């Protein structure tokens, strides 16, 4: 590994150790995944679903989120008590309740998105549009290199699991951080 490569990797390591940076990464990922309801958790997952498809029945929510009916009932009840959703009788069938996002629920989603955007803007402050474009280009190249290493990730996972099962600690001597 050349000195330049080592320096570059050390800079990445510093970024990964920054709670502020990692918070931004996870929040941005969560914002992007909010449309992938399988990757978000609990009540926020339901709020995200309703922000995309308002006016769903409990049965539709069960199917879309692939969770138990009892879980949906509890989540809807909790969100309703907190003022994030409301239930309204269906015009087509008065026996069916439709779940709608309230203004307060919409505000929670908007606030989360705004906070994520703000942190990301802070981190990239001072970079010009062309520098951001170049950074995106370079990170895309790095990501493609990493995507090609899936087998290596699986091997590391197996080794870590094996060492954990045998109560051996992972040898970190190669890594200065």
Residue 149 and residue 112 in one domain: no
Same domain flag for 74 and 142: no
Same structural domain, 107 and 132: no
- Return the higher-pLDDT residue of 23 and 168: 23
Domain boundary pick from 97, 125, 153 = 125
* Same-domain check for residues 113 and 135: no
| Cα–Cα distance measured from residue 164 to residue 159, given in angstroms and rounded to the nearest whole number | 8
Based on the fold, state whether residues 104 and 139 are members of the same structural domain. no
User: What is the total count of domains within the chain?
Assistant: 2
pLDDT in tens, 103-155: 999 998 888 778 877 877 887 888 888 988 898 888 788 877 776 666 555 66
Same domain, 43 and 88: yes
* Average pLDDT of the residues in 88-108: 92
Tell me the β-bridge partners of 89: 97
Alpha-carbon distance 83 to 61, whole Å? 18
Q: How far apart are CA 6 and CA 66, in angstroms?
A: 45
Same domain, 64 and 120: yes
pTM: 0.55
Q: Say yes or no: 43 and 107 in one domain.
A: yes
Domain with 147, as residue range(s), is: 127-177
Q: Which comes out higher in pLDDT, residue 70 or 169?
A: 70
Q: When comparing pLDDT for 168 and 51, which is higher?
A: 51
Winning range, highest mean pLDDT, from 5-9, 57-61, 134-138: 57-61
């Amino acid at each position: 590994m050349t000195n330049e490569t080592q320096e570059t990797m050390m800079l990445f390591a510093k970024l990964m150790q920054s709670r502020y940076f990692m918070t931004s990464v996870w929040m941005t990922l969560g914002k992007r995944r909010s449309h992938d309801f399988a990757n978000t958790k609990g009540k926020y997952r339901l709020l995200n679903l309703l922000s995309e498809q308002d006016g769903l029945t409990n049965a539709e929510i069960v199917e879309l989120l692939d969770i138990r009916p009892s879980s949906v009932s509890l989540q809807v009840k909790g969100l309703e008590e907190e003022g994030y959703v409301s239930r309204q009788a269906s015009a087509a069938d008065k026996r069916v309740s439709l779940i709608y996002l309230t203004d307060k629920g919409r505000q929670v989603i908007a606030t989360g998105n705004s906070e994520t955007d703000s942190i990301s803007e802070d981190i990239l402050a001072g970079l010009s549009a062309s520098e951001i474009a170049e950074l995106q280009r370079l990170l895309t190249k790095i990501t493609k290199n990493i995507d090609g290493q899936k087998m290596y990730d699986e091997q590391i996972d197996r080794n870590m699991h094996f060492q954990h099962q045998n109560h051996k600690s992972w040898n970190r001597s190669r890594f200065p951080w």
